Amino acid sequence: MTLQHRLPPRATTLPAAERGQPADRPVGRIPVTGVRPAVDAGDFPARSVVREDITFSATVFREGHDAVSATLVVTGPDGHREHVPMTCVNPGLDLWTAQTSADRPGRWSFRVEGWSDPYGTWSHDVAIKVAADVDTELMLEEGARLLERAATELRLDHDARDVLVDAARGLRDSAQPPQQRLAAGLSDDVRCVLDHQPLRELVSPSPTYPWLVERERALTGAWYEIFPRSEGAHRDPETGDWVSGTFRTAMRRLPAIAQMGFDVVYLTPVHPIGEVNRKGPNNTLDAGPKDPGSPYAIGSKDGGHDALHPDLGDWDDFDAFVAESERLGLEVALDLALQCAPDHPWVSEHPEWFTTRADGSIAYAENPPKKYQDIYPLNFDNDPEGIYAEVRRVVQVWIDHGVKIFRVDNPHTKPVEFWQWLISDVAASHPEVIWLAEAFTKPAMMHTLAKVGFQQSYTYYAWRNEAEELQEYCEDLAGDTAAYMRPSFWPTTHDILTPYMQFGGPTAWRLRAALAATLVPTYGIYAGYELMENVARPGAEEQIDNEKYEYKDRHWPDFEPGGPRYDESLAPYLTTLNRIRREHPALHWLRNLHFHTIDDDAMLAFSKRRTLADGTDDVVIVIATTDPHSTRDSWVHLDMEALGLEPGERFTAHDLITDTPWQWGEHNWVRLGRDSEPVHIVHVRRS
């Protein structure tokens, strides 16, 4: 039986607010403060995925010297409660922690209960007093009564109750010397019973905090982006005109994507493309009659966000693409770009959904100096109910056709409250749906989008290239932020080609993929990454002849095994990275990221460790250069405790990239760079 404590009534009868003082939350008889992970004091849920270990913590203390303890109380979606003992990890500073995981998705909750530990208080005091022969009989009798009380009040099985009753009898056995009587009350058996089912007094709960548990793909996955119209696109041998790829021709690319080990195939928009103000090659304003335009200029006479571009095929073709993806173990992610071409049906049917300028024209999208004359942004303030309902309907269309993941284009340009409503409404009937925010914007917006529902977010990874800034950035992402925001690392996208990638050569492309694949659980590449497409449009950090505005035939057979350019492809390297990720569950988590010391400031060393169901540890160490232009060597100094090893212990370091074993210890010399491998991915095996 749990003993609850009730606060006595306050002497002052007026509420605090009426006395001109803030209305504070009662602190509790046993103060419990600083509960984590609590996102914005519980305004938003902390997040994890199924079977992901989470560390919960709180500061728990009390007045005086009596023993105090803490329990984590976790409540599952079905209301079942589990009590998890907490441990004080820094005696004297009162920080209590417990680690646990959820075995199924759903809306969970948790709280921390602080409580007075009468057995802990007695066992501490009695050992001192009996040794000094002070109040010996009194202390032994108090212990006997305490154990009898525990045997009566706690819900114990017969054997556990007998342990306590026998111990109480031993404490009262005056025929035995005091130390032997004391040993009965402090026996391992007694401690085991009371550790499992403690006698708790003055139980003081913290507030209850929300905890959202989602499926594993919300945290872990390898994405591969394609423009469906390019997969199978070719020039007509007679006319020289481009022939668009289709869902059926794109299906032919799926086996190669799956064989490389990717989990998600991400499609840029597949809707009809506007003809008014259509963009030509490299974002020019003079599109020719055969130019396909940008798939982000959504909508034409052929339909809008709920329609397919006729060149790609019909719904049977799309459904076949989704089915083939699923057969190969791939999930389909679709770009959700809430913007319209000037000839989108919404423009004529709902002109109030857009911003009308003083001259009567509708404002097109701008991000100075960039101008998007082919795109009208939605104005959510004019008719929010109408826009909300229509977008929800559109999203359902794609869910009904097998799409479980949405990559949202520029969500930071739409109201946050809209996303909170949309994601929540979808989750009510389709909790498996995952949302990725493409929001390269201010941290406050990125963080808030994550808090209100986006499971994943693009990040600044493409622009974090130095070792020091990468470590600082990733430590932040894997720290408190990980309670609600899950980063997705992309070395390049169809919009981003940084100078680092333009001029770093093959070494840059290998190391940036390897770091993205190991620093965080979710990463992605844009088709053509394996071909190291590195030529930028002059004056821009994006590829020349950008696929957003034209077809691209990459001649994939040339780069496949047996093809004349197979040796030029990074596909085997990406395959190795994804195989390593699949074989090593430690890489599936974010919060287990730990950095080690390396002497060269252009190199990076980190590890991930995870205890598996069989009790063994999966430990991976990654050491990388961030300098793609030279070969560097350095000493790396490993934190052995973080690896689950003893100081001075030797172990087998198996490089998973080269399949080479070494004998390593706490201090190791490494050589990495363009003349060898830029990254070691090492599996730790105890010798």
**Catalytically annotated residues:** 409, 438
Backbone phi, then psi, for 72, in 5-degree steps?
A: -90, 125
Whether 250 and 231 have beta carbons less than 8 Å apart is answered as yes
362: exposed, middle or buried (C-beta count within 10 Å: 0-12, 13-18, 19+)?
Answer: middle
Distance CA 192, CA 195 (A): 5
523: exposed, middle or buried (C-beta count within 10 Å: 0-12, 13-18, 19+)?
Answer: buried
Question: Strands 487-489 and 456-458: what pairing?
Answer: parallel
Backbone phi, then psi, for 185, in 5-degree steps?
A: -80, -20
Distance CA 647, CA 642 (A): 11
Coil vs helix vs strand at 265: strand
Distance CA 665, CA 638 (A): 8
| First CA to last CA distance, the chain | 49
User: Tokens for 521?
Assistant: 């659980």
465-479: b or e for each residue (b if 16 or more CB lie within 10 Å)?
A: bebeebbebbeebbe
**Cβ-based neighbour number of residue 280 at 10 Å:** 16
User: Tokens for 290?
Assistant: 């055969």
Task: Quickly list DSSP for 360-418.
Answer: SPBPPEEETTEEETT-EE--TTT-HHHHHHHHHHHHHHHHHTT--EEEEESGGGS-HHH
Looking at residue 537, the DSSP 8-state letter turns out to be P
Which strand (E) or helix (H) includes residue 128? helix 118-132
All residues at 6 or more sequence positions from 147 whose CB lies less than 8 Å from its CB, including other chains? 119, 164, 165, 167, 168, 171, 185, 190
**Residue type, position 613, single letter:** A
All residues at 6 or more sequence positions from 666 whose CB lies less than 8 Å from its CB, including other chains? 637, 638, 640, 647, 648, 649
Whether 351 and 342 have beta carbons less than 8 Å apart is answered as no
Distance CA 398, CA 393 (A): 9
Coil vs helix vs strand at 434: strand
Whether 485 and 457 have beta carbons less than 8 Å apart is answered as yes
Looking at residue 337, the DSSP 8-state letter turns out to be -
Whether 295 and 550 have beta carbons less than 8 Å apart is answered as no
Which residue do the tokens 């401690």 mark?
Answer: 191
Which residue do the tokens 């390049």 mark?
Answer: 492
Whether 410 and 370 have beta carbons less than 8 Å apart is answered as no
Which residue do the tokens 């646990």 mark?
Answer: 100
Looking at residue 635, the DSSP 8-state letter turns out to be E
- Beta strand ranges found along 498-547 (DSSP E): 522-526
